[in-house]
Structure 1
């Protein structure tokens, strides 16, 4: 049954009657009658009942209005669409498009401004070695008129990055020349204030993109990662100037492997180029002695940089800076200003910020697991990811390059070379990170020479990377998994590990009671590797039901994270919850949350 309706008339009447709190959404917190008579242009009527159906009607009217229509035919099947079907369809047909960006003439103004910065300047930074981009963006800036172009130095140092923190800008990404028409290669942003291309977010978003038949976009993400490694030396935390010294969890080998396997046309030259770059990243970012590679042969996060990370919200470091302001007999504002300008140099505080930047490099910003010690830890998550790099390289070379791969610099790599690397890493992981008595992987502190006793969801990364023996997997599933399962899925850590929350130990967003999409996705796949289908089914149902219930009750909201203990998107912690602030209809959801929903449904179908 279809109804042709006047959009504006019905929209205004609906909001007047049902949006009682005036937030331009219809949720369970509104106190309207929850019954609305939809009137067609022919005078027919249809009674829409309940918060969910009313919010669907609101969304459909706004979608039609945004398309420039004054009248529209609304299929009643969309108003009454089952929640799981509707959320999946909105992700596939609307959210990915809403999150897609390009850095070129058409897309630059949508991305150059940064909500995380107080600066009003619009600056694009272009790599020293990319002459095409330099010429192109100088031309674009002249045509648009309100954008500045800055060319980065050939060698980017922490001192240089500090010097431009007061004039932050977007970093250019890959361009392609389409018959003389230069376009930016597209990418997907997480959403909200995260309006740039992020490191590990992009891998999880790409999983959702491939499920939704958008492998071309996932491939474009891999192409932009390749560009970042070639021109910025690493896959960046994100492509803003203040992230130039910081990378993020390494998923590049997984991305290129899965994109290639999902592509209809198997372009072996593309795979060769991306594999070459991934090996370069592995060797130059992760395996340099004294930086991210430690003496025991395992790895750590180690983000270089000077002073406070400028992207954090105001007052984020108040508690730690107050201590040092008192030490230097200064007011908080005076100390912060002098420390930021390096008029005051305090080595103890500098070390704190090395740990803090490294924590942000880990993607887990912030968590008591890593607070004030991240750069001292061989973490389970990082070493699992690098083991996956090594086994991926071995498999790709064996399957597609007859067992031998020659890099662009002429270095020869065999599958056996990478299997030997992964075998050695597995031995070290079992030596330093596995605790047989507790049946769990812990992070290892290279300073104290002890394991950090902290029960985190990251202990399941070795299942995803296929490091565990069957016996280790069973211990994790039997002894540890039940401690992390809550109403809405897997929680980031146990309440006991988090500790008591007070003024000296604030609630951190990567700790109990919060759950995050990447943890769920990795744990589902990891458990499936070891045959735990029943457990996976239970976890997926918890996660999807929580997402669907919140979207049903709150006008289609699909946010960044959840309180999985209470199964709600209403979280009260640092940075709030991205994806909850919108009017009428969410155009984006949140990148990896969208992907987790699509992956969950995909696995349930299997």
Structure 2
């Protein structure tokens, strides 16, 4: 069925039709927080332990295993509080934690059933150094493969880890559970290394999350049940289907994919008024009380700068920023007073309509239409085509900024575009959420925009922003998923100039990653845009190693450009 060709015609859908295509026409304050643990998610015990400072990293505590059932743990805590007149000192808190919690390894190293020593992609890589590097990266998949131990299934109440049946790939470093959007690029890398069986298992884990909770949480811990991450489950299935043509898998799980899509439609969309018209668009938003459990101390201390009545809003916008995957960037901050210094105290995530989220959801609707076309469900094809058209209309009219020649996030509080450079501004090229008849127009506008922002100046990768804030999702850090958005987006336009720039940017990124691996023997989660091969910095924790999505993007770029060179053949003087 020729579905794709009709999706890009800009047809405005009246708001009165919204409910019929899956929209909730009432604005929401965000979905319910599904974590009710008085140990891992909120309450006096969590607050007391996290503010005691006995752990340098707040995530350490909420990842600990309880030696007793929660009711015993909480009773022992109450005994401590009574004995200390509700004011235990650091040493007393440390003793309590030592008597009630343990750092248990909840994961087993797992064997990947379809791992191959020499996947087919190696044969296509022309540069011998890159080929050997890719071979070694293929080996890393085995070191990152995990399966959850049975005790987590038998005694789930004692763990913050959420049990899933199948083997998965951890990102690496401090991240000892699966993560949602990380897994999209991990899956891409696994498929390029010929591992569809492993990929199917990972996708089934996420499908089980939707069945249990109605959505995919940020990661595989109960304290992540207040939020999701960029909704890439449908694209994961699309990649798996492209590789396997497994129609039966599609048929078995299409209803679950629709359920997740409806979660975003119902819980994350808001009415946006512009030029006298109303559009339904998505933003990141949460609805819970208290700091992020895994970053409790940091959030709590920040909130002390605000009156008590404003703290809940801050906590929710911090969680919403984490839901975006960009935790943290000043992308999510709106300065109330123009003369005030901008800081995370100004985080206003739920007031911002992000380009990338709406582009992803537009593509998700197109994919659901395509899936239903494969399955022969014409009524559903029309339904999701209509939703895709609605998103496209909103992207065209709210996010596209003709003056700047690019898509920009939209500030609903001040009713204006947010004119700041982020690679996500080009994400509609990646999702192909534009009129295909105007591919050349959008491609050349994008190239002009990138050059105006001097992106071709950075030899370590494209930075996440051009603002140095000290946050890890700002300058000078360059992140793998954003390189993927940028490079693949330019390439998919099919416009020669854009494809040439994509090749230049991909080659630069590959050489930067290769230099880091050659120097340190490691792959980092993020890199410095100005010092090729160096791990990024800033934020709440040190740069992590592994690293799942970094490896996946390397394989993606080596597939797109098998003739990429480890030298500076394309004019990028990496040693200057």
CA distance in 2, matches of 1:199, 1:267: 22
Report what 1:250 is aligned to.
231
Residue 416 of structure 1 and its aligned partner are, at CA, apart by: 2.4
- 1:188, 1:197 within 8 Å by CA — same for their partners in 2? yes
Report what 1:222 is aligned to.
203
CA distance in 1, matches of 2:319, 2:390: 29
Report what 1:393 is aligned to.
368
Report what 1:276 is aligned to.
255
Q: SS of the counterpart of 1:369?
A: helix
Correspondence 1:507 to 2:470: yes
Report what 1:304 is aligned to.
287
CA distance in 2, matches of 1:488, 1:416: 44
Residue 227 of structure 1 and its aligned partner are, at CA, apart by: 0.2
Among 547, 562, 571, the alignment partner of 2:536 is 571
Matched positions, count? 409
Report what 1:85 is aligned to.
131
Q: Select the structure that is richer in helix.
A: 2
- 2:292, 2:299 within 8 Å by CA — same for their partners in 1? no
- 1:100, 1:189 within 8 Å by CA — same for their partners in 2? yes
Q: SS of the counterpart of 2:417?
A: strand
Q: SS of the counterpart of 2:558?
A: helix
Alignment of 1:165-180 (within 5 A): 169-173=160-164
- 1:517, 1:596 within 8 Å by CA — same for their partners in 2? yes
After superposition, the C-alpha distances for 1:416-450 in whole angstroms (9 at most, x for unaligned) are: 22222111211111111111011011111222221
Correspondence 1:321 to 2:303: yes
Correspondence 1:449 to 2:415: yes
After superposition, the C-alpha distances for 1:58-94 in whole angstroms (9 at most, x for unaligned) are: xxxxxxxxxxxxxxxxxxxxxxx9542332112212x
Correspondence 1:491 to 2:473: no
Structure 1 residue ranges (4+ consecutive) displaced by more than 6 angstroms after TM superposition = none
Report what 1:535 is aligned to.
501
Q: SS of the counterpart of 1:197?
A: coil
Report what 2:325 is aligned to.
363
Q: Select the structure that is richer in strand.
A: 1
Report what 1:423 is aligned to.
389
Among 438, 442, 459, the alignment partner of 1:472 is 442
Shift in CA distance, 553/190, structure 1 to aligned 2, threshold 3 Å:
same
CA distance in 2, matches of 1:427, 1:568: 41
Which stretch of the first structure deviates more once superposed, 235-244 or 475-484?
475-484
Q: SS of the counterpart of 1:102?
A: strand
- 2:286, 2:316 within 8 Å by CA — same for their partners in 1? yes
CA distance in 2, matches of 1:569, 1:168: 35
After superposition, the C-alpha distances for 1:90-137 in whole angstroms (9 at most, x for unaligned) are: 2212x11111111243xx6xxxxxxxxxxxxxxx4xxxxxxxxxxxx3
Correspondence 1:599 to 2:556: yes
Question: For structure 1, which runs of at least 5 residues remain unmatched after alignment?
Answer: 1-80, 109-123, 125-136, 139-147, 151-166, 174-183, 328-345, 405-412, 581-588
Residue 403 of structure 1 and its aligned partner are, at CA, apart by: 4.6
Cα RMSD (Å): 2.1
CA distance in 1, matches of 2:237, 2:500: 30
Residue 245 of structure 1 and its aligned partner are, at CA, apart by: 1.5
Q: SS of the counterpart of 1:101?
A: strand
- 2:479, 2:526 within 8 Å by CA — same for their partners in 1? yes
Residue 314 of structure 1 and its aligned partner are, at CA, apart by: 4.8
Q: SS of the counterpart of 1:87?
A: helix
- TM-score when normalising by structure 2: 0.68
Among 242, 255, 272, the alignment partner of 1:261 is 242
Shift in CA distance, 434/542, structure 1 to aligned 2, threshold 3 Å:
same
- 2:408, 2:418 within 8 Å by CA — same for their partners in 1? yes
- 1:193, 1:578 within 8 Å by CA — same for their partners in 2? no
Report what 1:240 is aligned to.
221
After superposition, the C-alpha distances for 1:245-279 in whole angstroms (9 at most, x for unaligned) are: 1111011111111101212xx43221112221111
- 1:460, 1:523 within 8 Å by CA — same for their partners in 2? yes
Residue 526 of structure 1 and its aligned partner are, at CA, apart by: 1.1
- 1:384, 1:461 within 8 Å by CA — same for their partners in 2? yes
CA distance in 1, matches of 2:253, 2:460: 37
- TM-score when normalising by structure 1: 0.64
Residue 397 of structure 1 and its aligned partner are, at CA, apart by: 1.9
Residue 576 of structure 1 and its aligned partner are, at CA, apart by: 4.3
CA distance in 2, matches of 1:481, 1:227: 44
Report what 1:200 is aligned to.
181
CA distance in 2, matches of 1:533, 1:348: 47
CA distance in 2, matches of 1:481, 1:314: 41
Correspondence 1:380 to 2:425: no
CA distance in 1, matches of 2:450, 2:179: 30
Shift in CA distance, 171/388, structure 1 to aligned 2, threshold 3 Å:
same
- 2:506, 2:557 within 8 Å by CA — same for their partners in 1? yes
Q: SS of the counterpart of 2:252?
A: helix
- 1:247, 1:303 within 8 Å by CA — same for their partners in 2? no
Residue 313 of structure 1 and its aligned partner are, at CA, apart by: 7.3
Correspondence 1:458 to 2:424: yes
- 2:174, 2:544 within 8 Å by CA — same for their partners in 1? no
Among 512, 517, 526, the alignment partner of 1:561 is 526
- 1:170, 1:241 within 8 Å by CA — same for their partners in 2? yes
Report what 1:211 is aligned to.
192
Alignment of 1:542-557 (within 5 A): 542-554=508-520, 556-557=521-522
Question: For structure 2, which runs of at least 5 residues remain unmatched after alignment?
Answer: 1-126, 273-278, 334-346, 564-576
CA distance in 2, matches of 1:169, 1:414: 38
Shift in CA distance, 475/358, structure 1 to aligned 2, threshold 3 Å:
same
Report what 2:33 is aligned to.
none
Among 146, 150, 159, the alignment partner of 1:101 is 146
